[in-house]
Amino acid sequence: MKKALFAFQEHLWLKGHRIKLEEVGFVITECRSADEVLPHVRSSERLDLVVMEIILPHGESYDLRETDDGMKTGVLLYRDVRAVRSDVPIIIFSTYSEKAMEKMFPEGERPQHLLSGFDTRLETFKEIALRLVSARV
């Protein structure tokens, strides 16, 4: 059984993505704010994949200014998840263009998988997720 953590503000959108991973044996935990993500990442013995978006409520974890009113919370959260669990692959979704997302991350800290727009085909998403998880084994 594989375990994935989804961190999204808009959970209706990711229903199809969740189903695609559940079809291949993933158990999904959903988080709706930055405050929920790090405690889960720290406490999970097994975590195979994190899927999140850049725009998330900043909660108590980050301050309003540093997240640009939540517009860049996922950038900070990505950095902090990597610091805690560098072994776990992360897929980041955003409605920002790929170029805009690349500019948000410092050189050398850019995620390997930035998926721009919410129109990424479900099968493509599933293939990327499976490839990342199987590369860890």
Over residues 97-136, the pLDDT tens digits come to: 777 877 888 778 878 777 766 556 777 888 888 998 888 7
Q: Phi and psi for 107 in degrees, rounded to 5?
A: -55, 135
Rounded distance, CA 16 to CA 8, Å? Answer: 13
Residue 119: per-residue pLDDT: 55
CB 93 within 8 A of CB 101: no
Give Cβ neighbours of residue 104 (< 8 Å, ≥ 6 apart): 54, 72, 75, 96
Strands (E), the chain: 2-7, 26-31, 49-53, 90-94, 113-116
This prediction's pTM: 0.88
Residue 45: per-residue pLDDT: 85
Residue with tokens 């998926």: 115
Tokens of 115: 């998926």
Rounded distance, CA 32 to CA 73, Å? Answer: 12
- pLDDT tens, position by position, 37-91: 999 999 988 899 999 988 888 888 888 888 888 888 888 999 999 999 999 999 9
Angle at 6 between CA 47 and CA 82, to 5 degrees: 55
| CA distances to 9, 58, 123 from 70, in Å | 10, 5, 29
Residue 11: per-residue pLDDT: 66
Residue 137: per-residue pLDDT: 60
- pLDDT tens, position by position, 9-47: 876 667 888 888 999 999 999 988 889 999 999 998 889
